[in-house]
Each structure stands twice: as structure tokens, then as C-alpha cells.
Amino acid sequence: MENHQEQSRTHTCRLYPRTYADVVKFFNGISHVRTDSPDVRRLYNSRHIDKTITKRGDSYVIRLYKTNLIEYTPTHCSITAGGWTTQTTLKVLDHFSNIRVSNASWHGNNLIPREYAYVWSPPHDLQLKFQLSKRSQDSDGNVLGFNDYTLYGANSSDWYDFTYPEDNTARDVVVSQNQFVEPIKFKVDRKAMRDLRRSHDFLPYAQALIKLLPEVMTSEELAKMQREYGRSPNSVISDWWTQEKQGVKDNPYKHELLMTMLRQTHYSERSYSQNNRLVTEISIKAFTRVFDQYFKRMNPQVLVPA
């Protein structure tokens, strides 16, 4: 009984279809869970309600949660990351298609500076790349390894079409290389960034108030000052910058931004123990550096092709 369950689990954990018939056989070989629709089968095992393969007419669709990732038709296979580049998404794509997929974030490939990597997608949101490698297989279809791979840039939200391999080693599965993208390297327009920094008076305001604070503050003192300011730094600076761009004279978010940046400076600076209490040196230089990191994220328009 245990061997049978293990075989069933192994059968539903991988699908490298050489033909459309392989997909049909795979779907029919999975036990149906009676609480699901007749056209739905769960991948991996019956507990994975978030990973399924669904029959839709002549097509079969692999879904992760509510996102379609792979669609098999009689003529070809289409895949996408659905805009998600999590490890689970990449795992599903790798386990149920003929394509190996690896993360290729813009920052990871040094295409944009680090501080802009989490808030902006350039003209191509190059978030994954396909490794079109030959999956060597034995006579039973078991994958033995990979070789001869080629890398192609792809947008995480777009669909890409591939034909089925003609035999158990063929990997010429790209329908058209024109569907892939070439990454663009960006740099900061420093003059534009300097002009933006001069367009507001937050730092002089903050520096004047920081001079009034003790040179060393305990965690308890900082927490008491910041207790009512619990929003995320990105939200606060976004609201403040929106008001600044609209020319609001008395920006209602200025003081909240000051307290939020003090908190972030406290987190980023090295703390040490003094009389058994954790203390942090709050310097204007450290505060300015932390603020500038968040301010840059709000202004990706200063990036230009390198």
C-alpha cells in the first residue's frame, strides 16, 4: 500500500511532455478528488488544492492558486509566470513543462541600481529566463540530466509558446526567438537626481530637529517617540512626496516622515549596550543616508539607458 502511494505521488510530481498525448495520459492518471470539479485534478497529492491541472475543451491548464501558468494544446505548450517570480512559481514551471526556468531579476543582473530594484519595472520586466536545455531521458522517460542550454530573456507577465519535442532528447522547442526580450541596462541621471533633492526642504527641517535630540538614544526612548507612527516607510514617504509635488505649503506628512526615518535610522545603525540598555547614535549623516535610499525609490524617472 505504501509503495502504491509513493508511486502515485511520484507520478503527479513531474510532467515533461514529449507529445500532447503525454499530457492527456498524465491528466487521466491522476485520481479525482470528489469535492472538485470533474475537470480538475490536484498536482503533487490530494492535499494541494492550490496546485491543479484543469481540462478545458482540448486544452489542459496548470494553475497555481488563481494564476494560469502553463497551457497545453494539441499543437503547442504556452507558459508564463503570471507576473509572479516566487520560488513556488518557478518550481511549478520547472516541474510541469519542458522548460527550465531560473530567476533573473533586473537587480541580480546589474541592469538597474539596487535602490530601484523593488519599486519599478523597466520597459521589460525581465524577471525570469528560460533555459532551453536538453533533458536526457532513459527508455522509461526518466530525466537523467540537462545539457546544451541556451538562455532567453522573458517578461514575467507575458506568455511564451513552445512546440513539443519530437523525440525524447529533442529540445528545439522555441516557436520563435522574436518573442523573447533583450535586457536594457540603466544608470542614474545624477543632475536630475540633484535637482529633485533641491526641490524640497525636508532635510534642513529634519537636521534642525535632530540637533535638538540627545546624541545617544535608547531603544525605549525611540519607541516612545515613534509609537504612534507605525506605517511602513514606503507608504509615508510616498504620501509626503505626493504632497510635495502638488506644492502643498504645510505638508501634513512631514513630521510623520521625520519620525519614520528616525526609526529606520535606528534599525540600520549599529546599536550597542550602555549600562545594560540598548542605545543608538542618531547622526545627521546616517539619517540623510537612510532618507536618500527611500527617496530614490520614489523617483525612478531619473533612470536613463546606460
Tens-digit pLDDT profile for residues 272-297? 555 555 555 677 888 888 898 889 88
Whether 165 and 237 share a structural domain? no
Whether 157 and 215 share a structural domain? no
Whether 60 and 201 share a structural domain? no
Q: Which domain holds residue 233?
A: 188-305
Q: From residue 76, how far is each of 32, 123, 159, 164 by CA, in Å?
A: 25, 28, 12, 6
Query: What's the pLDDT band for 73 if we cut at 50, 70, 90?
Result: very high
Whether 29 and 165 share a structural domain? yes
Whether 53 and 148 share a structural domain? yes
What does the mean pLDDT of the chain come to? 75
Q: Tell me: pLDDT of 123 over 80.
A: no
Over residues 126-140, the pLDDT tens digits come to: 666 665 544 555 556
- Secondary structure of 151-204 in the HEC alphabet? EEEEECCCCEEECCCCCCCCCCCECCHHHCECCCCEEECHHHHHHHHHCCCHHH
- The letter for the amino acid at 282 is I
Residue 31: other Cβ atoms inside 10 A: 11
219 SS3 class: helix
Whether 289 and 254 share a structural domain? yes
Task: Give the pLDDT score at 251.
Answer: 92
Lowest mean per-residue pLDDT among 65-79, 119-133, 205-219 = 119-133
How far is it, in rounded angstroms, from Cα 76 to Cα 62? 14
- The letter for the amino acid at 209 is L
Distance of alpha carbon 85 from the chain centroid = 4
Tell how strand 126-131 and strand 100-103 pair up.
antiparallel
Whether 162 and 255 share a structural domain? no
Whether 68 and 180 share a structural domain? yes
Under DSSP, the state recorded for 61 is: E
Reported pTM: 0.60
Query: What's the pLDDT band for 19 if we cut at 50, 70, 90?
Result: confident
Burial of 274 (0-12, 13-18, 19+ CB in 10 A): exposed
Residue that finishes a domain, picked among 163, 184, 205: 184
Domain count, the chain: 2
Task: Give the pLDDT score at 243.
Answer: 93
Task: Give the pLDDT score at 237.
Answer: 92
Q: Tell me: pLDDT of 270 over 60.
A: no
Whether 141 and 264 share a structural domain? no
Whether 300 and 162 share a structural domain? no
Category of 106 on φ-ψ map: left (φ > 0), alpha (ψ -120 to 50) or beta: alpha
Mean pLDDT along residues 131-158: 59
Backbone CA torsion sign across 254, 258, 259, 261: positive
Sheet holding 271-274, edge to edge: 216-218, 277-281, 271-274
Q: Tell me: pLDDT of 257 over 80.
A: yes
41 SS3 class: strand
End-to-end CA distance of the chain: 62
